[in-house]
Amino acid sequence: MNSDKDSSSELVSAIRPLVRELARIKKQAEALGLFTNDRELLECTGCDLAESVTFDGRLMTYHRNSEDPDDCGLRFEELYEETFRCPVCGTELKAVFL
């Protein structure tokens, strides 16, 4: 029984540095504006602002009713871990985290 505990401890010890490295890389990706796919994309229920991801992985926002689907440069503001605010109309949205 003790060998199971020892092998679990060894596994945790081996995985811990990998998890730390993954967290560091995720922070770098987010700082570069890349979408890390840890939540659903947001669509404001109060106006027409929505998120999308470009072919190279960058998070963008656009106005759904606009003829110009390019990134408008606005970003939903994260208020809490699961709550975001629309920069256009101020509507608070709950994000679905994956």
> Do 73 and 47 belong to one domain?
yes
Burial of 84 (0-12, 13-18, 19+ CB in 10 A): buried
pLDDT reported for residue 41? 94
In this structure, the answer to whether residues 10 and 24 fall within a common structural domain is: yes
Supply the pLDDT for residue 3: 66
Instruction: Indicate the Cα dihedral angle 42, 46, 47, 50, nearest 10°.
Output: 0
Verify that 50 and 91 share a domain, yes or no: yes
Torsion of CA 39, 19, 31, 72, to 10 degrees: -20
Count structural domains, the chain: 2
One domain for residues 41 and 78:
yes
| Shared domain check, 74 and 51 | yes
Is there a single domain that holds both residue 4 and residue 50?
A: no
Same domain, 48 and 80: yes
What is the extent of the structural domain holding 17? 1-32
* pLDDT given at position 49: 96
pLDDT, position 37: 84
Q: Are residues 24 and 47 in the same domain?
A: no
Q: Say yes or no: 19 and 62 in one domain.
A: no
Mean pLDDT by 10 residues, the chain (98 residues): 73 92 92 87 95 92 89 94 95 87
* Together in a domain, 42 and 23: no
DSSP strand E in the chain: where? 49-53, 59-63, 77-78, 83-85, 92-94
Provide the pLDDT for residue 16. Answer: 93
Of 32, 67, 72, give the one whose Cα is nearest residue 52: 72
The verdict on pTM exceeding 0.75 is: no
